[in-house]
Amino acid sequence: MKNQLDVKKLLCPMPVIRLGEMIDKVAISDTIEMLATDPGVLYDIPAWCKVHGHRVLKIEEKTDEIVLLVEKIG
């Protein structure tokens, strides 16, 4: 199941905190599509996923937002 998390206009560390809150609520192998504007997510989210054992499936930089697709693992 794909879930969407809108963290646009939120600055570090809030996108990471919101992802942590949402990932606890979804099932294993579900994905979360994050919509962000803080360029820090390009580094923070992959690092957080590596520490917590989740996977970044996609990072797409658009003109007005950054889209990340995160998969919950175990």
Instruction: Answer yes or no: 49 catalytic.
Output: no
Side-by-side strand order, sheet with 2-7: 2-7, 31-36, 66-71, 55-61
Taking a C-beta distance cutoff of 8 angstroms, is the pair 71, 39 a contact?
no
Of residues 2, 6, 11, 12, which has the active-site annotation?
12
Q: Please list the active-site residues.
A: 12
